[in-house]
Structure 1
Amino acid sequence: MLGSVRVFASVHDRRKGFLIAGGAIFPCALGRGGIGTLKREGDGRTPRAALPLRSVLYRADRIGRPRTLLPVRAITPRDAWCDDATDRRYNRLIDRPPGEAEERLTRDDHLYDVIVELGWNDAPVIRGRGSAIFWHLARPGFTPTAGCVAVAGHVFAKVLPRLARHCRIMVR
């Protein structure tokens, strides 16, 4: 079982990096602002922190239930993540009718077919300090994220079953 996964930025492009899990090294995408210590809503930075893994969310209409020891939940069409710092539900999974604003979890692309919710700014929540920091699927070419860590699909298949419940992603 893996107690930690490490993430480092590339020396050539701070928006790309490497995820190291159990001795294996995988390319990953990072936030368009690179890795940063001072994270704010909308800055595009991936937070430099030890991030606990909270749960796995997945699109049951697209993939099978991920094998993992972490809590798992299927994404519904009403699922969204509150990124409005003025809302009392900021940085939480919320129920929203399709078509309303917020960070929709049912996307047309495949980026959120599997998501690991990372424990950033959630204990306690500080408004404006950043929301919706996930570990999710990468775009082709590992183009930058809005602040998340993103990997190829085969990485989840290899790594998720090996994650201990107390595992953390160490973003450095």
Structure 2
Amino acid sequence: MNERDSRKSTGKVRVMNKNSWNVMVCALKLCLAAALFWGGSDPMAVEAAVLQKSAGAAVGQQGAEALKHSVWGQVGCAPGTGTEQEQSGIPTDQLSFDVSRFVLPSDAKTLVVVEGFAVNGGREVYQRETVEDTALWNRARVTAFVKGANGNWVPRLQSPAVLGWGGMSNKRHSGDGTTPIGLWRADTPFGWAAPDAGFPSEYEQIIPSLRTQYWSDATNRLEHSHVLTAQSGERLWEDWAKELYAYSLNTGFNRNHTHQGAGSALFLHCTKPGKPSTAGCVAMDPSAMRELLKWYAKGALYVAQAPEGQFEAVYGAFSENGDSAPGTFSPSQRQMPDTATILVP
């Protein structure tokens, strides 16, 4: 008995879920597009003509936008749309940037976007051991996207964070407490914690008993030396780093210390209770940092940082050398909306 006869005799109908339906429709559309293309026709032009005729309106310069919202997009075939985006569970309606506009190398697999909000506390607040009053914190929102099957960016992580006591700047210099602005490729995963399953193979665990691992302010790299006096920079094995650097990732800013005086050791790392700001890094929930390291292991991870609503000059500012984004930026005056830590495996 074949499958069709079986369904007829039992009276049961197999209901296709939304994802399966979308996949089937996309496949049919791709087949139709291929047939039109090899037959000498432009698939998009054909659909535009159909839209124009059915809607009774000229497509003209709005053709691309019409096509974007046509059936191609509605079933998840167009970039930046589809059920992956809808089902991720990460709220994106308040984001101050358009993730599809970032210009990245073709190897990009993960994009971490940091939006900086109002500067509420300066150096004096930063120097306190803990600050319970969150109104004095310099807040940031971290949203991580993973490249989906269609090449669109799908949100997979969001977390509140804190940034530099001096706010954000694209003219950063060492000691000013600012978080740099720009777009870079992250590198050098490390931390005090033992590596989890799924961590990158190059993850380097900090072993405090060795007293050799430090982040050099001369090379802006993780270095090793048994001579303590040669360890110029952050001694990663010292006790102060245990919580903050449980999981860490270098943002790629000022790679190899190309720009002397711009600063070094600008990481994504963990925060701890009561921490109001950093010396320039972005510190987030440890669970979020742990998840980012797992995404890093799956392919190139890029980091974009700017004050909220000011990403226009950052979209095309990727720098292999870790340069800051060009342009003029101003401190955000907005307080960060309520943001929870959400992780989507």
Scaled by the length of structure 1, the TM-score of the pair is 0.82
Contact 1:54 1:71 (C-alpha < 8 Å) held by counterparts: no
Tell me which of 35, 38, 41 is aligned to 2:168. 35
Which one has a bigger Cα radius of gyration?
2
Contact 2:191 2:205 (C-alpha < 8 Å) held by counterparts: yes
The 5 A counterparts of 1:149-164 are 149-163=282-296, 164=298
Scaled by the length of structure 2, the TM-score of the pair is 0.43
Q: CA RMSD in A?
A: 2.4
After superposition, the Cα gap between the structure-2 partners of 1:147 and 1:26, relative to the gap in structure 1 and judged at 3 Å, is same
Letter of the 1:102 partner, please give it: G
1:6-48: CA deviation from partner (whole Å, max 9, x where unpaired): 1001247482111012434210010111111111111111100
The 5 A counterparts of 1:5-154 are 5-11=112-118, 13=120, 15-22=138-145, 23=155, 24-59=157-192, 63-66=193-196, 67-69=198-200, 71-76=202-207, 77-83=211-217, 89-97=218-226, 100=229, 102-109=233-240, 110-123=243-256, 125-154=258-287
SS in 1 for 2:140: strand
Q: Matched residues in 1 for 2:227 and 2:245: separation?
A: 16
Q: Matched residues in 1 for 2:245 and 2:277: separation?
A: 15
Contact 1:70 1:165 (C-alpha < 8 Å) held by counterparts: no
Q: Matched residues in 2 for 1:102 and 1:21: separation?
A: 29
Q: Give the structure with the higher percent strand.
A: 1
CA shift, 1:97, in A, is 4.2
Q: Give the structure with the higher percent helix.
A: 2
Q: Matched residues in 2 for 1:91 and 1:169: separation?
A: 17
Structure 1 unaligned residues grouped into runs of 5+: 84-88
After superposition, the Cα gap between the structure-2 partners of 1:70 and 1:169, relative to the gap in structure 1 and judged at 3 Å, is farther
Q: Which has the higher contact order (CA 8 A, sep 6+)?
A: 1
Q: Matched residues in 2 for 1:50 and 1:29: separation?
A: 18
Q: Hey, what does 2:95 align to over in structure 1?
A: none
* Pairs aligned (count): 164
